[in-house]
Amino acid sequence: MMDWTDTFCRVFHRLLAPHARLYSEMVHANAVIHGDRARLLALDPVEHPVALQLGGSEPALLAQAARIGEAHGFDEINLNCGCPSDRVQAGRFGACLMREPGLVADSVAAMIAAVDGVPVTVKCRLGVDDDHDWDRFLAFVDTVAAAGCRMFVVHARNAWLKGLSPKENREVPPLRYDWAYRLKLERPALQVIVNGGIATLDEALAHLDHADGAMLGRAAYHDPYVLHRLDVAMFGGEVRPRHALLRAMRPYVEAQLARGVALKHVTRHLLGLYLGQPGGRVFRQVLSEGAHRPGADWSLVERAIAATGAPAGSAMEAAA
Ligand SMILES: Cc1cc2nc3c(=O)[nH]c(=O)nc-3n(C[C@H](O)[C@H](O)[C@H](O)COP(=O)(O)O)c2cc1C
């Protein structure tokens, strides 16, 4: 998610959910090729498995960007066919690609030919504007699957390209999970991941009865502890308290500080950890106010944890 799932965010989410597949922000193929790769493709070894999401619609550029992404260590290259913003529409990529299955197929084929084996996947909508035509959606998937895409992340609503902001486009067009489920039934060989409006552990688990996976966007960011509970529910292990998970970030955070990264770049992703918990507001406040101050360091995070009433940390907890 743009401006959210940078490497600092993904490292935190990995600690919470050791088995989840994580996704980068969308990066345009041109930016991958010509931009500041050290920043745009920054990746920490703990993040795996992690996908790079590309934006674009020129097969040759996407192929080049996919190859670069794989060489940087990403485990999957995902093509965005779901973003409805004006900027994206002007560039003729994102959700408007739902109407150009042939171009998406050519792009996917070029990307697959360019990489050395990582999967090339697609994140899409059900359609754009007032297309509510199952056969058209299925034809999109079939065309792209014929080019070699085996996994589709389906944001299970339409994108309305005229008259809605990107935010409204994540809320107003009605969700139709039944289409994602039906895709899995009719094309069982494809991996179908459901996305859109999944807010709780139970909702995420319920989707797994009908699809291969559930992708959480806003809930994972605003209430990241749900990722931890989901990971434990699916893969076992102990549910760890929030403060223990957070303290496991300490060596990483201190390493970032040592290489000159300001604390705020990491802590902005931590703010939701105590959402709805006693002390959650003050946790957020301590972190968001203090992290901007020059010289802010790990002791600020400890103050924020203390403000929630959690026990003081032990050396063992920090090392866990
Ligand atoms: C701030 C923000 C940035 C987003 N950026 C991207 C993006 O870069 N690529 C993408 O495929 N979807 C992006 N999305 C959409 C989400 O991935 C997701 O499809 C959408 O929010 C619906 O899922 P949710 O209800 O779980 O959030 C973004 C959403 C938000 C809120």
Q: Are 212 and 191 in contact (CB under 8 A)?
A: yes
pLDDT at 103 over 80: yes
**CA pair distance 194, 220, nearest whole angstrom:** 14
Position 314 confidence tier, pLDDT thresholds 50, 70, 90: low
Mean pLDDT of 158-177: 93
Same domain, 271 and 133: no
Same domain, 138 and 35: yes
pLDDT at residue 320, as a whole number: 46
Same domain, 173 and 301: no
**Of 177, 192, 224, the domain-final residue:** 224
**CA pair distance 135, 91, nearest whole angstrom:** 27
How many Cβ atoms are within 10 Å of 182's Cβ, its own excluded?
Answer: 16
Residue 237, phi-psi category: left (phi > 0), alpha (psi -120 to 50), beta (remainder): left
Mean pLDDT of 42-67: 98
Mean pLDDT of 10-15: 98
pLDDT at residue 34, as a whole number: 98
Domain for residue 167, yes or no? Answer: yes
Same domain, 23 and 132: yes
Domain for residue 59, yes or no? Answer: yes
Instruction: Please report the atom of ligand 1 found closest to the CA of residue 78.
Output: 11
Same domain, 64 and 205: yes
What percentage of the chain reaches a pLDDT higher than 90? 93
Same domain, 215 and 262: no
CATH code for the domain in which residue 119 is found: 3.20.20.70
How many Cβ atoms are within 10 Å of 302's Cβ, its own excluded?
Answer: 19
Domain for residue 15, yes or no? Answer: yes
Same domain, 41 and 181: yes
pLDDT at 319 over 50: no
Domain for residue 299, yes or no? Answer: yes
Mean pLDDT of 206-225: 98
Ligand 1 pocket, 4 CB below 6 A? yes
Point out the least confidently predicted range of 31-35, 230-234, 270-274, 312-316: 312-316
Question: What's the pTM?
Answer: 0.96
Residue 55, beta-bridge partner list: 28
Q: What would the two tokens of residue 196 be?
A: 């859109």
Same domain, 205 and 256: no
Domain for residue 235, yes or no? Answer: no
Cα of 110 vs centre of ligand 1, distance in Å, is 25
Point out the least confidently predicted range of 206-210, 252-256, 314-318: 314-318
Task: Work out how many domains the chain is built from and give that number.
Answer: 2
Same domain, 132 and 259: no
Question: Hey, whose CA ends up nearest to atom 31 of ligand 1?
Answer: 218
Same domain, 116 and 258: no
pLDDT at residue 298, as a whole number: 98
**Of 224, 253, 274, the domain-final residue:** 224
Domain for residue 231, yes or no? Answer: no
Ligand 1 pocket, 303 CB below 6 A? no
Domain for residue 236, yes or no? Answer: no
Position 87 confidence tier, pLDDT thresholds 50, 70, 90: confident
Name the catalytic one among 9, 81, 83, 96. 83
pLDDT at residue 210, as a whole number: 98
Residue 163, phi-psi category: left (phi > 0), alpha (psi -120 to 50), beta (remainder): left
Ligand 1 pocket, 219 CB below 6 A? yes
Ligand 1 pocket, 245 CB below 6 A? no
Active site residue 83: yes
* CA 231 vs CA 56, 110, 217, 224, 243: distances in Å: 32, 34, 15, 11, 17
Same domain, 133 and 197: yes
Q: Which domain holds residue 298?
A: 242-319
Confirm or deny that 163 is annotated as ligand binding.
Answer: no
**Average pLDDT score over the chain:** 96
Position 317 confidence tier, pLDDT thresholds 50, 70, 90: low
Same domain, 202 and 252: no
What percentage of the chain reaches a pLDDT higher than 70? 98
Q: What is the pLDDT of residues 192-213, one digit of tens each?
A: 999 999 999 999 999 999 999 9
Domain for residue 233, yes or no? Answer: no
